[in-house]
Chains A and B, each alone.
Chain A
Amino acid sequence: MTTTLVDMGSQDRRGGRNSHKDADFSAYMAARQPALYRTAYLLAGDHASAEDLLQNAFAKLYLSWDKIRDHGALDGYVRRVMVNENNSLWRRAWKRREHSTDTMPETGAHDTYDDGMGGALWSYVQTLPPKQRAVIVLRYYEQLSEAEIADVLGISAGTVKSQASRALAGLRARAPQSLNPRESGDAS
């Protein structure tokens, strides 16, 4: 999960290095864009914002491409940028301004085999504060450990635990009766 940054020199002195970089980056984007877009969508809540988040994260990755030696850490880098950007208050204000008039209503994915509970829970997740929501997405969608989430968010594992606990308590409080701990067996 840890991104290793090394200084490879800021200037490109060898011919063809940029084209290699573009080819490598292009291949990475083609392979990983759909999956990372899904994470962006869960973080941002709508397609326009997800696209904006992902474009920004890819752009920062592109600028840092030569410095990232561990290419196994690329997804982690993109996730970290997306989460931090999405948690930023000014970005939310900026986003409202940019998209306030041209955003189409979200239709989202159709829950083909859902009893309605998935849609309801998704609605509740969307009301969580950005940081709690990021913890929920990284924990239950990306299946990251508390330590990995702590690394992405730049906070302690203890804070991850407390944010997750607060988010689940919030979901439990607002969820319908069928998620009531006594009925769902979720008494913890």
Chain B
Amino acid sequence: MNTPLEDQVHDALHRRVDPIQHAPLTVTDVRHRARRIQRRRAAVAGGAVAAVLAIAIPVGLSATGTNQRSDVPPATQSPSPTPSPSPAPEVTSGTIEVDPESAEVVEQTPVPLLDVDGPTLITPDGTLDLPAAYDTLTPYLDGWAGVARYDEPDKSGAFIEFLGEDLRVDDGGVPTGGLVESPDGARIAWSEYDGTRWRVMVADPAGGTEPVETTFAPTAEEEPVIPVGFVSDDAVAVRAMYNIGDPKTFVASGGQPVEVPGLLQADTASSTLGVVAGITEFRPDATCSGVVDAAAGGGRPAWTTCDHRLGPFSATGTYVVGTLPEAESGSRDITVLDATTGEEVLTFEAALPRRTVGGFWTQMTWVGDEALVVRLASGEDYVMMRLGLDGSVQRIGIESAGVSGLKVAMPS
């Protein structure tokens, strides 16, 4: 038996729509839409085939990952531009000291930055006021997609939000495990919790194609699915935190997720190499990391290291960042590793004043294959640095609005 309010809701809904006698659709309209859906499904299936083809190429890749893969015919037309051959950037070796005090100062940022206390978005073209502080923010459709973090009685944790062109939040948002972008910017991916299960969306920021959804088995919101990076043009690697502390790695490219064995915890991925990297072993004296193929299924790492925790891959998959495995308040150094062998190329070491706690944040971004933009903590101060693989060290001299400093808007 209904309560009076339930009866009123029933009546209100019927009054609203009972006079509506619309039948606006024809069978032709429906057939057209059906064909669009079929084309999209075929494209997704083609993308999966492309990912499998890519890993069939022998893994003896040199440092020119993209060119090595260029003879694999794409299964579908990709909106991403084909990288034109360009001279290899100069790369030095050894250890480079990073001292913000003595570094050259540049006034422009090579990548978008977030001013946490502003909150503002700082781009090479100008500064935009934001409605809230965001962990990550990237262009999407006519506006932006971002991850905001809340700590309120009725709303806490990370939420994916969509902002309009005017930078106002269009949607209240839903819980998310994070937002990542493909190296060429042609796709973004995020996870969202719908009250029952986690879903991963892979979307074209330009809106050329409809987003593709991967649905996970029902779990609690507290067992998030965290995107870690793209493993092909359209597929993203994620870390699913099942049972809290027993994470599993999956590839999401539409439909059902595909498990990737071999990692205890996925941290990063490369779309050019088609690999996922993360922790492979916890030892009493070390935490070891490795790189596994995203599609081969064997789970055997191509290489491992117990000297570094692995961070973002460079855009072409030539390099991968290594940080100190046990760093708590920032990694004292950043080592650039050869992504196909794990060999050390060069190391950037933070020059911190004596008795000062700090180091490099693991949230950083690549500028092509040439440089990294990183946030360096030194005591209670934060500075943004551009570290060139040619050995150049520059401080990005943009002032922040408050003590929280700046950070990269979209980590690699």
Contacts and interface: CB of A to CB of B under 8 A. Distances in A.
Interface residues of B, number: 51
A125 B20 CA distance: 18
Given A37-B20, A38-B20, A55-B30, A122 B141 contact: no
Nearest to A120: B12
Given A59-B30, A63-B37, A94 B210 contact: yes
Contact of A96 (B9, B170, B196): B170
Contact of B171 (A30, A54, A92, A168): A92
Contact of B12 (A56, A108, A113, A121): A121
Contacts of B12: 117-119, 121-122, 125
Contacts of A58: 25, 30, 33
A8 interface: no
A51 B24 contact: yes
Contacts of B6: 140, 168, 186
B22 A141 contact: no
B30 A37 contact: no
B195 A121 contact: no
A159 B196 contact: yes
Interface in B275-321: none
Interface string B87-126: 0000000000000000000000000000000000000000
Interface string B9-41: 111111111111111110101110110111000
B19 A110 contact: yes
Given A55-B29, A62-B30, A109-B15, A87 B194 contact: yes
A22 B213 CA distance: 29
Given A89-B171, A122-B12, A159-B196, A97 B142 contact: yes
Contacts of B15: 109, 111, 113-114, 118
Interface residues on A, range: 35 or more
A73 interface: no
B27 A55 contact: no
Contact of B38 (A25, A54, A63): A63
Interface string B206-227: 0100110100000000000000
A179 B10 contact: no
A57 to B, nearest CB: 9
B8 to A, nearest CB: 6
Contacts of A38: 17-18, 20
Contact of A47 (B8, B22, B27): B22
Contacts of B213: 88, 90
Contacts of B27: 22, 25-26, 29
B198 interface: no
A100 interface: yes
A157 interface: no
Contact of B33 (A56, A140, A155, A184): A56
B5 interface: yes
B195 A159 contact: yes
B20 A109 contact: yes
A186 B16 contact: no
A172 B10 contact: no
Interface in B131-152: 140-142
Nearest to A93: B162
B30 A172 contact: no
Interface in B172-211: 172, 174, 192, 194-196, 201, 203, 207, 210-211
A188 interface: yes
A89 B174 contact: yes
Task: Determine which residue in B5, B24, B142, B192 has the highest number of CB atoms from chain A within 10 A of its CB, and name it.
Answer: B5
B30 A94 contact: no
Contacts of A29: 25, 27, 30
Given A62-B30, A90-B213, A100-B142, A136 B9 contact: yes
A117 to B, nearest CB: 7
Contacts of A175: 5
12 contacts: A29-B25, A42-B13, A58-B33, A63-B37, A89-B162, A96-B170, A109-B17, A118-B15, A131-B194, A140-B9, A141-B14, A175-B5
Interface of A: 22, 25-26, 29-30, 33-34, 37-38, 41-42, 47, 51, 54-56, 58-60, 62-63, 87-90, 92-94, 96-97, 100, 108-114, 117-119, 121-122, 125, 129, 131, 136-137, 140-141, 154-155, 159, 163, 168, 171-172, 175, 179, 181, 184-186, 188
Give the top 10 A-B pairs by smallest Cβ distance, nearest first.
A59-B33, A121-B12, A118-B12, A59-B34, A38-B17, A33-B23, A186-B5, A141-B13, A140-B10, A90-B211
